[in-house]
Amino acid sequence: MSRRQVLVYRQLPPDQLARIQQEHDVVIANPRVAGQKDAFLKALPTAEGMIGSSYPIDEEVLTLAPRLEVISSISVGLDQFSPDALHRRGITLCHTPGVLTETVADLLFAMVLATSRRVAELDRYVREGQWNRSVGEDLYGWDVHGKTMGILGYGRIGQALAHRAALGFNMPVLYHTRTPVPSGLPEGRAQPVTLREVLMQSDFIVLVLPLTEQTRGLIGPQEFALMKPGAILINGARGPIVQEAALLQALEHGQLRAAGLDVFDIEPLPVDSLLRTHPKVLALPHVGSATHETRRAMCEMATTNLLLALQGKQPLAAYSPAPAR
Ligand SMILES: NC(=O)C1=CN([C@@H]2O[C@H](COP(=O)(O)OP(=O)(O)OC[C@H]3O[C@@H](n4cnc5c(N)ncnc54)[C@H](O)[C@@H]3O)[C@@H](O)[C@H]2O)C=CC1
Ligand SMILES: O=C(O)C(=O)CO
């Protein structure tokens, strides 16, 4: 097996990097790190494999990389690529589904609890020295157990979240998804419904579906207007699925009680974003899968994907386009 040229465009654990270096010649250049963009651009013309995450691999990058055969993404989401365009060019696109499912579901549920029980807000209250009396109604939160959980996108993570909600917190679950699937829960604990029904009947609406042409801007003024007054929105999917201006309006007008956001239109969130300082927003820096165990498992899986694909073997998980209808 001949050695190939691999461009590593995000930091990998040393042992995973060593696995790649054993078989291939490696250039390490993260275009997001100051001073490394030139090295990244310079490595593209000879790159045959690439491994990294989140940096958009667009037409401009692809045009500079005519020898590219494999991209291994350290993520499950593939919205930073044009998967069909890569497929047409014969480039194998691999990703890391499954290994992060439970970890992301944990964080989504943490956001449900934190927004409803006002965890971050009350922490600020104590730190700022405001706790000088027993708390009054103005600082009360709202119960989570027994409330209705609405899930948009009932794939791996959506189903793991539904388990936590239905079986751990006795919450009726409503879900809406593109491809109908059974709930995987005991009879009567979760119902597949329309998007409109999820919006109208849920106390929590959690987004965990991919960013695609169909889902971009999916939650806008009309969708917020359908929500129960006092609903809580959790976006653990991708920022552009929610129209941020409409979200701010819904928070201002009291339509939404709170929003828990792990993802934003622009990441990192610009310092002047109104979402950064809004008192009803719990803002996290895109950390759904960011635990030591899971980020390591993702890097291992992505490395294996890259090595298998460069050997001409079937990777553990590769994107394949939906069959034409
Ligand atoms: N915040 C974070 O750190 C993370 C975010 N994610 C996001 O979560 C997404 C889901 O991940 P998985 O559950 O592993 O994927 P999955 O492919 O198992 O599930 C996605 C679900 O969304 C549904 N869906 C797709 N288009 C839809 C539409 N137009 N309307 C309704 N439902 C639609 C699919 O039918 C499927 O049920 C990823 O694509 C990614 O964007 C994933 C991991 C971490
Ligand atoms: O895997 C993904 O899609 C993420 O957003 C980060 O884990």
Q: If residue 235 lies in a helix (H) or strand (E), which one and from where to where?
A: strand 231-235
Question: How many structural domains comprise the chain?
Answer: 2
Q: Could you tell me if 269 and 299 lie in one domain?
A: no
Q: Could you tell me if 107 and 186 lie in one domain?
A: yes
Kindly report the number of other CB atoms within 10 A of residue 82's CB atom: 17
Q: Could you tell me if 58 and 174 lie in one domain?
A: no
**Tokens, residue 240:** 């552009």
* Parent domain of 28: 5-99+292-310
CA distance 179 to 173: 17
DSSP 146: T
Of 53, 156, 157, 179, the one to substitute when testing ligand 1's pocket (max ligand atoms within 8 A of C-beta) is 157
Is 210 part of a structural domain of the chain? yes
Q: Could you tell me if 212 and 225 lie in one domain?
A: yes
Q: Could you tell me if 142 and 208 lie in one domain?
A: yes
Indicate which CATH number applies to the domain containing 136: 3.40.50.720
Q: Could you tell me if 111 and 72 lie in one domain?
A: no
Q: Could you tell me if 26 and 164 lie in one domain?
A: no
Of 102, 112, 136, 99, give the one whose Cα is nearest residue 234: 112
Q: Could you tell me if 259 and 212 lie in one domain?
A: yes
Q: Could you tell me if 198 and 209 lie in one domain?
A: yes
pLDDT averaged over consecutive 10-residue blocks of the chain (325 residues)?
Answer: 95 98 98 95 98 94 96 97 90 98 98 98 97 96 98 98 98 96 96 98 98 97 98 98 98 96 97 96 98 98 98 95 59
Residue 325 is predicted with a pLDDT of 41
CA 301 to ligand 1 center in whole angstroms: 19
Residue 196 is predicted with a pLDDT of 98
Q: Could you tell me if 77 and 126 lie in one domain?
A: no
Q: Could you tell me if 33 and 47 lie in one domain?
A: yes
Q: If residue 27 lies in a helix (H) or strand (E), which one and from where to where?
A: strand 25-28
Amino acid making up residue 70: V
CA 156 to ligand 1 center in whole angstroms: 8
Atom of ligand 1 nearest to the CA of 158: 13
Measured between alpha carbons, how far is residue 136 from residues 139, 140, 305 in Å?
A: 6, 7, 54
The overall longest dimension of the chain from CA atoms, in Å, is: 72
